Structure 1
Amino acid sequence: MLLGSGLFLVTLGLAVSCQAGSSPITLTMALSGIESVRWQPVIAEFERQHPDIHIALVEAHESTDDLEAIYADAFEQGNATFDLVYADIIWVPRFAAAGWLLDISDRPSAEDLADFLPNDLEGGRYQDRLYRIPLRSDIGVLHYRQDLLLQANLPTPTTFDDLLTTAQTLRSQQVATWGYLWQGRSSEGLTAAFMEVLAGYGGSWINPDTLTVELDSPAALQAIQFLRRTITQGIAPERVTTYSEEETYRLFQDGEAAFLRNWPETWATVNSSESPISGTVAIAPVVHAPGQESRGCQGGWGLAIAASTPHADAAWTAVQFFTQRQIQRRFALEVGYLPSRISLYSDPAILQHYHHYPDLLSMLERSVRRPAIPQYTQASAILQRYLHAAITDRLPPEQAIQAIVQETQTLLQGDT
């Protein structure tokens, strides 16, 4: 069934066996195309265990921005299409402030909530109320070719200068075309990458409590200069400013680079049996300045309930099922998603496949979150616009920072 431009309603209809004359409750949510494929087995299991509830999926394009727009457009138009919301961690303040999400603070038990990673759980709150249960976590990490470092007798870099020096050494030895790849396209990937570098220099972007823009600092200038240096020193290609996660991981998988900033799901892909660099890639925390700490950007997805749904109890049943330990374990083993439940980072079956999970857990415990503000989408767009101008040498970093501060402060003050 076609819904609007390029959106398809997929009714799985698996294992639904209701009594004659009765109809199951249908819960609808939107997922990207690849996600909908990955979800089908667990949806089939849910419908088998809950034959009175049916899940219908609206398939969207792969872009997170497109998926956000699909939900937002429906809610803004008063369209009650969606019962469940598969929500990125950065959407919660906007969706909750607009009244689009159901307050579920009183539904989960304290015992169950205690198993979730604190930053993932906190990412589902807005003004001390809970609106989203985490399903999968995420964090920016440094992927590196451990075979190249061993051959060159070089340690894994921990600081910004270490990374630049090591990358340059490997390039001079002609064992890698590029030293370091990151996401420089004007997109949310650039925001995430910048957040990590900014935090690595001890800086911050927006204080969500005071709505103060805190970029007018030495740390912000150092962060932009570092990203620019990767290009001017030939460590990253000039075209890195057009790359998203997809382009960078493909170049890395093709053996074109020694280091890559990306999300941990990449590790499973580049180490798969089909990958030309399988077995050579390890994960480390993102680099930082001396005296500071590594803080990867917190990502993650979870499930919320649309405030407009007439089936809140059925929707909560679905949220409980899909976020439970067994389903997160299945997603981790079959797809490579990072669990949002702490207990799964010591699960023997998972550790057999992903021996680096204990290291990821320590990274997740000190991650940096993007500002939890309703105006986040607009603030990120401002950041991306001027940051991209600075890293492409179209605007001096100092001017870019001032423009970001002024426009973002105007945005935040206008909504207070």
Structure 2
Amino acid sequence: MVNPAASENVFAGGSILSIKIGFLFNHDSIHQISHTAPIISEIARMGGHVTVIASSRTQIEHLTKIMGDVADVEFVHIDIGRVAKAVDVLARQIIPFRRIASLRENLKLFSSFDALVVPETTSALLKSHFGLKQLKLIYLPHGAGDRSVGFRDVTRHFDLVLLPGTKTRDRMLERDLIRPDSHAVVGYPKFDLIDLTDRKRFFDNDRPTVLYNPHFDPRLSSWWDMGLPVLEWFARQDRYNLIFAPHIMLFRRRFHTSVEHRKLRHRISIPEKYRHLPHILIDEGSSHSVDMSYTRSADIYLGDVSSQVYEWIHQPRSCIFLNAHAAQWQDNPNYAHWELGQVIDRIADLPAALEKACTLDEVFRTRQTKAFELTFSLQPDRSSAQRAAEAIISFLSSGSVPRDLETV
């Protein structure tokens, strides 16, 4: 099914058309796309033919926008039947029903590929429940955070796991989630798309700008118990600007459920009074919330458990973390990022924390620099997408990855 000589052909500039590779984007939103899209262009450049499979027209539009014109890439839009759509009208407010239905109702298409590259773990159902045992599943996590949800047993269903750096690799190896010959450290392809030095201006003044970036997890997020008090505090003061840009999924559902933490909560809406203040920008899910526009441009990060904090520290800056769920976070790998800034338990402590955050503590600067290096294995002479493409082709051709990508 796969040509054993394909890897040699790739690096010699020859043909790899015998390998059928699909890139699957099966989500309600666009935030996962940038993590694997750059790899598509690299495989095409190497001579491969890629099929992009997306479960919504919005995802296809975003893909073509960020990729531009790429030869030898086919786009396929998958859909679900009328019965599944009817069920999804109610179910989607609580569970990712459509994503699962999209997998189940398109098995014939998926079985036609040698491999599928995915940025999420729901696709593991293709092997674990839907019988596609021969399909090679290749997983690149969409983010590089510390939450326990990123280190679950489901990872074992993937044939190849592409990782951003040694931090994630070592933690997965420790839990036996990956094998030495079934993973590669490739860096962070999302960075390939972005000019990290570009800093947009969102306010017409010189005040320090705070980015409030709560997660959507109903147990771990600060939004439910601290979010509105945060907005109220910023609304009443005149020293700081505020960008409120939560995880893009927070306002996509009315209810959020966490199977892992056994929690279900109704999402709180934003009062209209906060939407028209000149020093507050509210973004419930535009492309700016996923393309690092805000993490590149703000001065102080205010959040909880989002992996975006690791994108934030590409340029060391002050962080404040809201402990709204009484977490015992010290020496806990699920909260390793809380070592990179101040942690507060009450809104009453926010003014003092912000005052301190106006100057980055050197201890935190050192920690952030080290954390960035452990989280993202970046190389000046080779892009992350190129490394990922080489790992994929080598694995599909010979069953192993280049040795340097295992040990980086």
When normalised by structure 1's length, the TM-score is: 0.37
Determine which structure has greater relative contact order: mean sequence separation of CA pairs < 8 Å that are 6+ residues apart, divided by chain length: 1
Q: Normalization by structure 2: what TM-score?
A: 0.38
